[in-house]
Amino acid sequence: MGDHYGDVKVQLGQMKSLGEDAEKEEVDPEEEMPVSSPSASPDPTGCITTAPGADALSTNICKQKGKRSTKNPCGRPLQGFPAHAVKNFNSAICDQTLHIKGTGKILQGKSAESNGNYVGVHESSNTQETRCEDEFKLPRKRRPVTVDTSKAKTSLEALKLSIKELQWKEFHTGRRAACDIYWHGVSFHDNENIVSGQVNKFPGMVEMLRKINLSRAVRTMQELFPEEYDFYPRSWILPEEYQQFSTEIRMVKESDATESPTFIVKPDGGSQGDGIYLIQDPGDLKLVVGAQAKQAVVQQYIHKPLLIDKLKFDIRLYVLIKSMQPLEIYIAKEGLTRFCTEPYQEPSQKNLSRVFMHLTNYSLNVQSGNYVHSDSQNTGSKRTLSSVLYRLAAKGVDIKRVWSDIIALVIKSIIAVLPDLKVHYQADIPPAKPGPTCFQILGFDILLMKNLKPVLLEVNSNPSMRIEHEQEVAPGVFEYVPSPVDEQVKVGVIRDTLRLMDPLNKKLTATPQPKGGGSDPVEVIPADGDSQGRSPDNADNLPPLCLKQVYPKYTKQFNHLRLVERIAALFIRFLGVKGNMRLGPTAFRTFIRTCKLSNSNFTMASVDILYIDITRRWSFALPDSREAGMGLQAFVEAFFNLAGRRFKSLALREQVVSLLDLCESHLGPPSGAEDRRSLSCSRVLPRGGRTRALYLPHPRPISPAVHRRATSQDCRPHQRPKPRTLRANVEN
Ligand code: ADP
pLDDT tens by residue, 34-83: 323 333 333 322 332 333 333 332 333 333 333 333 333 333 333 444 55
Pairing of strands 382-384, 336-339: antiparallel
Burial of 168 (0-12, 13-18, 19+ CB in 10 A): buried
State in Å, rounded, how far the first CA of the chain is from the last one.
25
276 lines ligand 1 (CB under 6 A): yes
User: Is pLDDT above 80 for 84?
Assistant: no
Whether the CB of 266 sits within 6 Å of ligand 1: yes
pLDDT at 344: 98
Going by alpha carbons, the residue nearest to atom 20 of ligand 1 is 457
Cα–Cα distance measured from residue 219 to residue 708, given in angstroms and rounded to the nearest whole number: 10
Residue nearest to atom 1 of ligand 1 (CA): 271
What is the DSSP secondary structure assignment for residue 14, as one 8-state letter? P
Read off the amino acid at residue 550: V
Q: Whose CA is nearest to atom 27 of ligand 1?
A: 301
User: Is any ligand 1 atom within 6 A of the Cβ of residue 457?
Assistant: yes
716: left (phi over 0), alpha (psi -120 to 50) or beta: beta
Over residues 549-585, the pLDDT tens digits come to 999 999 999 999 999 999 999 999 999 777 889 999 9
Average pLDDT over residues 189-193: 92
- What does pLDDT average to over the chain? 76
Nearest-atom number in ligand 1 for the CA of 445 is 7
CB distance 314 to ligand 1 below 6 Å: yes
Mutational test site, ligand 1, from 264, 304, 344, max ligand atoms within 8 Å of CB: 264
Q: Where are the alpha helices (DSSP H) in 512-651?
A: 555-558, 563-575, 585-594, 604-621, 632-646
Classify residue 648 by burial, with Cβ atoms within 10 Å: 0-12, 13-18, 19+.
exposed
Closest C-alpha among 67, 106, 104, 107 to residue 87: 67
User: What would the mean pLDDT of 608-635 be, rounded to a whole number?
Assistant: 84
- Read out DSSP for 378-433? SSSSEEEHHHHHHHHHHTT--HHHHHHHHHHHHHHHHHHHHHHHHHHHHHHS-TTS
Atom number, ligand 1, closest to the C-alpha of residue 275: 3
Residue among 712, 725, 711, 683 nearest 187 (CA): 725
Domains and CATH numbers, the chain: 146-199 (no CATH), 205-417+435-474+485-504+541-557 (3.30.470.20), 582-666 (1.10.238)
User: How far, in Å, CA of 612 to CA of 634, rounded?
Assistant: 11
Instruction: Confirm if 505 and 516 have CB atoms less than 8 A apart.
Output: no
Tell how far the Cα of 359 is from the centroid of ligand 1, in angstroms: 6
Alpha helices in 322-384, H assignment, sequence order: 355-358, 362-365
Reported as a pLDDT band with limits 50, 70 and 90, residue 297 is very high
Ligand 1 contact via 261 beta carbon (within 6 Å): no
Cis omega before residue 686 (within 30°)?
A: no
* pLDDT bracket for residue 87 (50, 70, 90): low
Ligand 1 proximity of 301 Cβ (cutoff 6 Å): yes
Inter-residue contact 446 to 453 (CB < 8 Å): no
Query: 186 alpha carbon to ligand 1 midpoint, in Å?
Result: 21
Query: Please, which residues have CB within 8 angstroms of residue 414's CB and are 6 or more apart in sequence?
Result: 319, 321, 327, 329, 551
**Dist. CA 569–CA 636, nearest whole Å:** 11
- Is any atom of ligand 1 closer than 6 Å to the C-beta of 362? no
Report the b/e string of 224-246 with b at 16+ CB within 10 A: bbbebbbbbbbbbbbbbbbebbb
Between 374 and 368, residue with greater pLDDT: 368
Instruction: Please state, in angstroms and rounded to a whole number, the distance separating the CA atoms of residues 133 and 573.
Output: 43
Centre of ligand 1 from the C-alpha of residue 695, in Å? 17
273 CB within 6 A, ligand 1: yes
Give the pLDDT mean for 344-368: 96
**Cβ 55 vs Cβ 16: under 8 Å:** yes
Question: Strand pairing partners for 106?
Answer: 99
Ligand 1 atom at minimal distance to the Cα of residue 301: 24
Decide: 299 in ligand 1 pocket, CB within 6 A: yes
More confident residue, 68 or 110: 110
pLDDT tens digits for range 503-528: 988 553 333 333 333 333 233 323 33
Q: Is the pLDDT of residue 424 over 70?
A: yes
Is 271's C-beta closer than 6 angstroms to any atom of ligand 1?
yes
| CA distance to 12, 117, 557, 687, per residue, from 680 (Å) | 45, 19, 23, 11
What is the pLDDT at residue 177?
94
pTM, 2 dp: 0.77
Average pLDDT over residues 679-690: 33
Sheet holding 198-199, edge to edge: 169-171, 146-151, 181-184, 198-199, 437-438
Residue 413 has pLDDT above 60, yes or no: yes
Residue 7 banded pLDDT, cuts 50, 70, 90: very low
**How would residue 529 be classed by pLDDT, with cut points 50, 70 and 90?**
very low
pLDDT confidence tier of residue 471, bands split at 50, 70 and 90: confident
CA distance readout (Å), 490 to 121, 148, 434, 478: 28, 19, 31, 23
Residue 99, strand partner residues: 106
For 312-316, what is the mean pLDDT? 98
Distances from the Cα of 331 to the Cαs of 209, 528, 548, 698, in angstroms? 18, 16, 5, 31
Of 61-65, 183-187, 388-392, 419-423, the least confident: 61-65
Q: Is the dihedral of CA 124, 128, 133, 135 positive or negative?
A: positive
Mean pLDDT on 150-163: 96
